[in-house]
Amino acid sequence: MCPATSNEDIPRGYIIPIGGGEDRERDMQIHRRFVELSGGADAAIVVIPTASMLEETGPDYHRIFSELGAGQVEFLPISRRADCDNPEFADLIDRASGIFMTGGNQLRLSAILGGTLLAQKIRRRNAAGVPVAGTSAGASIMSEHMVAGGSSNAAPAEGNITLAPGMGLTNAVIIDQHFTQRNRLGRLLTATSYNPFLIGIGIDEDTAAFIGPDNVFEVVGSGSVTVVDAGQLTHSSMWDARPGEALSLLGLRLDVLGEGCRYDLTARVAYPPDEHLAFCSLPVSSGDPPPEAEG
Amino acid sequence: MCPATSNEDIPRGYIIPIGGGEDRERDMQIHRRFVELSGGADAAIVVIPTASMLEETGPDYHRIFSELGAGQVEFLPISRRADCDNPEFADLIDRASGIFMTGGNQLRLSAILGGTLLAQKIRRRNAAGVPVAGTSAGASIMSEHMVAGGSSNAAPAEGNITLAPGMGLTNAVIIDQHFTQRNRLGRLLTATSYNPFLIGIGIDEDTAAFIGPDNVFEVVGSGSVTVVDAGQLTHSSMWDARPGEALSLLGLRLDVLGEGCRYDLTARVAYPPDEHLAFCSLPVSSGDPPPEAEG
């Protein structure tokens, strides 16, 4: 399953959606792994704080990644579309070994970055092997189909989710964040039943899915990643349900993955922490050994 | 799949858990179907209001079932264990063609009825073909393993559900009620992962699962029935998770069944409204035709 690493076939970089609310003070294991993947002391990390309206967001991540030993950290003060044409910013993206998108409002992020040269460069850098991470809004925007909003409810219902075009780093998944904390299973069921091609990934706070070049992701953090797979759907009443009518969705698969579990997005199979792809797993951070196979 | 109906092999009666909050004023389709199954104008329905502390509960159901044309309706004012020895009550159960347990507190119900002759008679009547329905607390108590309480949360977690012995009309399922309304998926996932033998049935308000003698149930009402099947579970970290640690549960199956959908508890397969077992389906109430195959 490990992709070839020859020059003709460069594997794409990790895609790392984070569910928001991640630890930024103590172990910072998610950020630590991201820095490690970005090259550690040789890393050149670029932070895009555009989703956030808070002035301190960029500087805050500058502190975090610097503390974790990243060689170089920059944040791009992009607050309008014209900023995306700044050649200095383009140059920083071109030289980045890791890109991080902060939380905030994903529609602000997509409205400002969408269709710009900078967004294209981020996609190309990721395709060339550079890891791209994003938390909360920054996680939602990564997929081709982005969750822009919706209601909190355990039950699926037509119209309880708002989709918008995202950045398109992957089109295999649709990503939701603050998942358990904000009770978002219903809307993720809705999204995956709209088109069962998509695998729904609901990421809890302080939790990340490290999606490798082989389309296998590993869970890192204190929460769970819930995977909704409607690929075996045998029946859906979504298309002809009357407003307010309870839906039928038969044949869904559900996996709840704790830390260390892996999920193969191609085969649509989940693996416990102690199985599968050991030779292909995430690099081990020197400061934060991976959990033992205890579950 | 339809059981034989010879004298030597009497099929057991329907088991009808209702998710609480059912319509008691307008169409009353759930109660209507129950009255029909109990014999309509020839029905002798016995209501057990013991879970409730409200004086009006018994009379209220007396009104409902009478309005719906039941020939005879009685409610048993059982408020302590000694009441269960009342020979008059035993006689009414012996002659009942339908038994209904109201909402309230299922631990009150199990504490007062559990182990009494009356509880044994209810089980025996059901085994002899008499339908038994229960709403809310009255639904929970029906299964061998009863949900006595727990927390509202979308995520599974050890200890987030309290189990107690129930009435044991069926041991194939564990029943939770007010399901979507009170966000109870997490605790139902916990219960089914404790022992994947159990199928978890989460019933929304104003919704019922009519479990037939063939162990196939049909959904009636305005909400959904969520079925959690952990029978294919490939990994669980439940048994060795540390307190507060996010769990891993891999390989769950989930079906969300709207009105008219059926679920075969033996085969663990869900069917849309227009498929399967038409010859064996629920009797049609004259006042309430079944939904067309529109989903």
Q: Residues, chain A, total?
A: 295
Domain count, chain B: 1
Closest residue to B261, CB basis, from A179, A250, A258? A250
B202 in a structural domain? yes
Radius of gyration over every alpha carbon of chain B, rounded to an integer in angstroms:
18
CB–CB contact A252 B250 (8 Å): no
Residues of A in contact with B229 (CB under 8 A): none
What CATH number corresponds to the domain at position A201?
Answer: 3.40.50.880
B36 is catalytic: no
CB–CB contact B271 A250 (8 Å): yes
A289 in a structural domain? no
**pLDDT computed for residue A276 by the predictor:** 54
Mean pLDDT of B139-143: 96
B252 in a structural domain? yes
Closest residue to B258, CB basis, from A153, A245, A254? A245
A285 in a structural domain? no
> Which B residues 112-131 touch A at CB under 8 Å?
none
Select from A150, A145, A90, A147 the least CA-distant residue to A122: A90
- Residue B109: pLDDT band (50, 70, 90) is very high
**pLDDT single digits (tens) B206-259:** 999 999 999 999 999 999 999 999 988 889 888 777 777 888 999 999 999 999
**pLDDT single digits (tens) B78-87:** 999 999 999 9
* Rounded Cα distance, A290 and A293, in Å: 9
With 60 as the cut, is the pLDDT of residue B139 above it?
yes
Instruction: Looking at the complex, report in whole angstroms how far the Cα of residue A252 sits from the nearest Cα belonging to chain B.
Output: 5
**pLDDT single digits (tens) B93-102:** 999 999 999 9
Instruction: Looking at the complex, report in whole angstroms how far the Cα of residue A157 sits from the nearest Cα belonging to chain B.
Output: 11
B219 in a structural domain? yes
Instruction: Name the catalytic one among B52, B97, B110, B136.
Output: B136
* Rounded Cα distance, B178 and B41, in Å: 31
A54 in a structural domain? yes
**pLDDT computed for residue A155 by the predictor:** 81
**What is the residue-averaged pLDDT of chain B?**
88
- Residue B62: pLDDT band (50, 70, 90) is very high
Residues whose CB is less than 8 angstroms from the CB of residue B201 and which lie 6 or more positions away in sequence, other chains included: B17, B173, B174, B175, B176, B209, B217, B225, B226, B227, B228
**pLDDT computed for residue B276 by the predictor:** 54
**pLDDT computed for residue B195 by the predictor:** 85
With 50 as the cut, is the pLDDT of residue B289 above it?
no
Interface test mutation site (partner B, options A30, A158, A224, A276, max chain B beta carbons within 10 A): A224
SS3 letters for chain A?
A: CCCCCCCCCCCCCCEEEECCCCCCCCCCHHHHHHHHHCCHHHCEEEEECCCCCCCCHHHHHHHHHHHCCCCEEEECCCCCHHHHHCHHHHHHHHHCCEEEECCCCHHHHHHHHCCCHHHHHHHHHHHCCCCEEEECHHHHCCECEEEEEECCCCCCCCCCEEEEECCCCECCEEEECCCCCCCCHHHHHHHHHHCCCCEEEEECCCEEEEECCCCEEEEEECCCEEEEECCCCCEECHHHCCCCCCCCEEEEEEEEECCCCEEECCCCEEECCCCCCHHHCCCCECCECCCCCCC
Domain containing B254: what range?
A: 15-273
* Amino acid identity for residue A85 in this structure: D
A31 in a structural domain? yes
Instruction: Looking at the complex, report in whole angstroms how far the Cα of residue A259 sits from the nearest Cα belonging to chain B.
Output: 7
B295 in a structural domain? no
With 90 as the cut, is the pLDDT of residue B74 above it?
yes
Per-residue pLDDT of chain A (295 residues; tens, 9 = 90+): 333 343 447 899 999 999 999 998 889 999 999 999 999 999 999 999 999 999 999 999 999 999 999 999 999 999 999 999 999 999 999 999 999 999 999 999 999 999 899 999 999 999 999 999 999 999 999 999 999 988 887 788 877 888 899 999 998 899 999 999 998 999 999 899 888 889 999 999 999 999 999 999 999 999 999 999 998 888 988 877 777 788 899 999 999 999 999 999 999 999 999 765 544 445 444 333 333 333 2
Closest residue to B222, CB basis, from A184, A246, A251? A246
